[in-house]
Amino acid sequence: MDKAVLVGAPERDLDPRIADEHLEELARLTDTAGGTVVATLRQRLPQPRPRYYIGEGKAAELKDLVGGRSANLVIFDEELSPAQGKNLEDLLGVRVMDRSELILDIFATRARSKEARLQVELAQLEYMLPRLKRMWSHLSRIRGGIGLRGPGETQLETDRRLIGARISDLKEKLGDVARAREQQRKSRQGQFRAALVGYTNAGKSSLLRALSGADLFVEDRLFATLDSATRGVELGSGFTALLTDTVGFIRKLPHHLVASFRSTLEEARESDVLLHVIDASHAGWEEQRQVVGDVLEELGLRGAERILVFNKVDRLTHAEEEALRERVRALDPRPAVFTSAYHAESLEALKETLKARMRARLAHVVVRIPAGDGEILAVLHREGEVLGRVEEDGALFVTVRIPRALIGRLAIRPGVEIREVA
C-alpha cells in the first residue's frame, strides 16, 4: 500500500476552513485509491512558484517529511505543470502526482462498463501526453500503485505518435457509443425523464435504488459508481418516470474527464428536469452546490430546469434541518426537496414534485372513444392520468391528462374525438 504525503498550497485569500476541507477531501480520495496518508503539509501562497509550485524552503521541508515518514508518494491538491512535477521528483526521489492524476487513477479502478473504460483511458492518455518523460520514469521503477493503473501499466514502449493514434481510435469508438446512446434516447421519447446530478457521494445512487427498488451498487466512498444507470420509477397515480444516475462531480474535476464523459452526461442534457442532489449533512454543501453548477454550465446546462434535492437529512437534528431550510430559501429561489434515501416516507415529497412537473407537461383533454374499445382505454390508463369517465350514447367520454405526443396518435383512430379542457 502506498504511503502518501499530501500537500495543500491554496491561494492566500482562501478561507482557512475551506482550505482544510479541501485537504480532507484529498485524503478521502487517497483512501479511495487505496493509499494511506502518513502526513500533510500546507503553505498558503499568493501565487504558485515556477520551480516546485511551493517555495524552495517548503520543498526542503517536504523532502525531510517524506524521508522521516518513509513515504513513497507525494500528492498535491493543486494541478502541477509537467516541469514542476519533474523538478519535485528529482528533489524528493519519490513519485509525485497531483489531484487530477489521482482522480483519473480512481476512475481507472472504478470503471466497469466498456464505455466507462474507454472514457477513462482517453482522459488518462490525454493527461499523460505532455508528461510522458516523467510518466515513463514512474513505470521504469515500479509496476502498480496509485497513479500507475489503467493504460499506462501496459504501454511502457508507447511514444507520442502511438498515443496520438490510440486517442484518435478511442474518440472514434466513443463516437459510436454516443450514436448508440442517441438511438436509445430516441426510443424513450414521450416518456418523462429526470437525471440525478450532484457532487460525488451526495447519495444519488442510494436515492435511485430507494425510488426504483433496483439492486444498484452503493458505497460510502467518493466515486463509488461511474456507470450511468436508468431505471423506471413508479410515482403513484399512474405516473412513471425514467430516472438516470450520472457520474458524480468534484472540485477541480479534470477537464479531460469531463470531455471524455460528455456522451454519458448527454443523458442530463436530454432530461426534462435535473435533480441536483446535495448532501445536506456536509458542512461544505454550499461550495459543492456551486461546483456542480459550474460543471453543468461547462456542459451547456446552465438554463436547464433544476430541482434541488437535499439528501441525508436523517443525519441532521430538527434544529439543523430548520436552519438548513431557512438558508436554502434565502440562497436559491428554485424549488427544493428535503429527503433521505433511508426513510421511505421522506421520498413522497420528491415523488409529488416529479408528478407536478409531469402534470405541467400534460394536456388536459376529454377523449371520446367507442364504448367497446378497451385497447384505447388501456393506453389512456397506461400513458396518462385518468380523472373521470362517463358512458353516453354508446360512447365513453374519458377526462384525462396525457402527453401531447399521444394526442396525434389517438386522433387518427376510428371513432375517436379529442377536446381540450379549458
Domains of the chain by start residue, with CATH: 1-187 (3.40.50.11060), 188-358 (3.40.50.300), 362-420 (3.30.70.240)
State pTM to two decimals.
0.78
- Please say if the pLDDT value at position 133 is more than 70: no
Identify whether the C-beta of residue 246 lies closer than 8 Å to the C-beta of residue 132: no
- Please say if the pLDDT value at position 254 is more than 80: no
Our measurement of the distance from residue 207's CA atom to the centroid of its chain's CA atoms, rounded to an integer in Å, reads 13
Summarize the confidence of residues 95-100 as an average pLDDT: 92
What pLDDT, on the 0 to 100 scale, is given for residue 222? 66
Which of these ranges, 153-162, 170-179, 338-347, 368-377, has the smallest mean pLDDT?
153-162
What pLDDT, on the 0 to 100 scale, is given for residue 141? 45
Distances (CA, A) of 308 to 289, 303, 311, 353: 9, 14, 9, 11
DSSP class of residue 52 equals B
Summarize the confidence of residues 175-190 as an average pLDDT: 72
List the alpha helices (DSSP H) in 142-242. Answer: 160-187, 204-212
Buried b (16+ CB within 10 A) or exposed e, 4-24: bbbbbbbeeeeeeeebebbbe
CA 120, CA 123: separation in Å to the nearest integer? 5
* Tens digits of residue pLDDT in 18-59: 888 899 999 999 998 999 999 999 999 889 999 999 999 999
CA 343, CA 361: separation in Å to the nearest integer? 29
Single-letter residue type at 264: T
| 363 CB-contact burial (10 Å; exposed 0-12 / middle 13-18 / buried 19+) | middle
Is the CA virtual torsion 200, 201, 203, 206 positive or negative? positive
| 286 CB-contact burial (10 Å; exposed 0-12 / middle 13-18 / buried 19+) | middle
Which residues are paired to 396 by β-bridges?
A: 369, 391
Buried b (16+ CB within 10 A) or exposed e, 240-254: ebbbbbbbbbbbbbb
Band of pLDDT at residue 316, cut at 50, 70 and 90: very high
Single-letter residue type at 101: E
